[in-house]
Amino acid sequence: MLISLSEIMNTTDKVENISAPIEMDTFEFQGNSYEFIRKDPVNLTITNLGNRKVMIEADTKVSLMLNCSRCLKKIAYPMEIQFSKEIDFNLTEEERAQDLDETNYIVGYDLNVDTLIYDEILIGFPMKLLCREDCKGICKNCGKNLNEGSCDCDTTEYDPRMARIRDIFNNFKEV
């Protein structure tokens, strides 16, 4: 959803409260698509600070359906997003980029709410997520979820440096 900031900037000391829906159906990241379980409307407070400066404050709650990093079980991941940023329209987009101000959610005088929420989810996205603290993962041979019980696979781990010697013994075994 695009929100025009030009009307707010024309009125001195104007404060506008907006409830904007999140229009994204899924969160796309690194070639994966994660579905939303919950996505509350974004509560925005946009304040004209004068001298072509605007304060944008936003908060919402979302939940994504993610997979456990060990056993691949689907789990809900809730996130509370709170955002506060002062935007100076006296600076050009190039000057903002030089100041390391990543405001890709501002296009001209429009605020793109979905891009803002996407960036905030990306910042809070977990690098590793476990369904429980003692998750055992899956068997690397048969793929069984080890949290549900053990499997009958051989779990002996051999030193890879000894692979050649093991091959010699396996080839010349007496039957």
pLDDT at 167: 84
Q: Which long-range contacts (CB under 8 A, 24 or more apart) does 6-11 make?
A: 6/109, 8/46, 8/48, 8/54, 9/48, 9/52, 9/54, 9/89, 9/109, 11/48
pLDDT at 100: 58
Domain ranges of the chain: 2-124, 138-175
CA distances from 24 to 36, 82, 116, 174 (A): 9, 18, 11, 65
Tokens 């579905």 label which residue? 35
pLDDT at 162: 85
Digitized pLDDT (tens) for each residue of the chain, 175 residues in all: 888 888 888 888 888 899 999 999 999 998 889 999 999 999 999 998 888 888 999 999 999 999 999 999 999 999 999 999 888 887 777 776 666 566 778 888 888 999 999 999 999 999 999 999 999 999 888 888 889 988 888 777 788 888 888 888 888 766 5
pLDDT at 79: 95
pLDDT at 101: 63
pLDDT at 65: 94
